[in-house]
Amino acid sequence: MPLRYFEVDVPTKHTDQPGQRIHIFVGLADDPLAARNAAHDAYAKARLLHQSGQEIPHEFASGWGARGLRPDWDLDWNKATAAPWVNPHGLFGTRRTF
C-alpha cells in the first residue's frame, strides 16, 4: 500500500485553561493506525528532547514531527483520531505551503 498523508487530531487540555483543544499532527503513513502510532512516537521523542534541553527537529526520520510541543498540555491519546489529510490549499498545494 502506498504511503499517504494522514492527519492525527489529539484532544488536549490544560489545568489552568478551561475547555478542550485539538493538537494536530500531519505525516505519511500506510493507514490510520500507523499514523496515530507515528504521531504518538514523534510526540514522545519531542517530549524527551525538550526535557533534556535539546532542540526539537522540524521532523524525525519518520517524517512526523512535534515542533508545536506544549509540555504543560495533556494530550488524550485514547481519544486521538486519524484520517486522510485534506490539503487546505487545493489540488496543487503541498504540505510545505502552510
Per-domain boundaries in the chain: 4-97
Burial degree of 6 (CB within 10 A; 0-12, 13-18, 19+) = buried
pLDDT value for 23: 85
The DSSP-derived string for 39-62 is HHHHHHHHHHHHHTTPPPPSS-TT
* Coil, helix or strand at residue 98: coil
Is the pLDDT at 97 greater than 50, yes or no? no
Lowest mean pLDDT across 10-14, 17-21, 80-84: 17-21
Tens digits of residue pLDDT in 29-85: 999 999 999 999 999 999 999 999 999 888 888 889 887 888 788 899 999 999 998
Provide the whole-model pTM: 0.81
Q: Residue 70: CA atoms inside 13 Å, Cβ hemisphere, count?
A: 14
